[in-house]
Amino acid sequence: MSAGEPVSSASAEHYTWGGPDHCDAWHLVQTPEFSVILERMPPGAQEVRHAHQRSRQFFFVLEGELTIELGRRPWALRAGQGIEVAPTTPHRVSNRATGDVRFLVISQPPSHGDRIPAETHG
């Protein structure tokens, strides 16, 4: 996709993650400076606790309920709510609800390849 062209989950690069939980992700914007990913997590899915060296992220819930742990504090975000995650902040998202959750992950710079173990940062 080029800047100025419409993008959708049907036209964006799709990938899966999370092993048997099979989470879906669509890379809506992917540049060296900025990334926007649409994600879908089924009930019971969660990612590994981690941090990012440089990337600042913003998680925004479109449908369902997303639990995000920042440091060790859990936040339950519902549709229309979001939260910012500063670089080096340990975090993990999970779906503790009974239905799918769909959310945007906005990162600057992109977070792929920028992961560090959470244990090194609390």
pLDDT in the model for residue 70: 94
- Give the pLDDT confidence of 26-81 residue by residue, as tens digits: 999 999 999 999 999 999 999 999 999 999 999 999 999 999 999 889 999 999 99
Instruction: Give the C-alpha separation, 64 to 15, whole Å.
Output: 21
For the chain, the domain total comes to 1
Range of the domain at 91: 21-121
Domain-embedded: residue 51:
yes
Cα-Cα-Cα-Cα dihedral of 43, 58, 6, 79, to 10°? 50
Domain-embedded: residue 91:
yes
Domain-embedded: residue 101:
yes
Domain-embedded: residue 100:
yes
Percent of the chain scored above 90 by pLDDT? 80
Output the average pLDDT for the chain: 92
Domain-embedded: residue 12:
no
Instruction: Give the C-alpha separation, 46 to 94, whole Å.
Output: 4
- Give the pLDDT confidence of 83-110 residue by residue, as tens digits: 999 999 999 999 999 999 999 999 999 9
Domain-embedded: residue 104:
yes
Bridge partner residues of 16 (DSSP)? 24
> pTM of this prediction?
0.91
Domain-embedded: residue 27:
yes
Looking up residue 58, the CATH number of its domain turns out to be: 2.60.120.10
Domain-embedded: residue 66:
yes
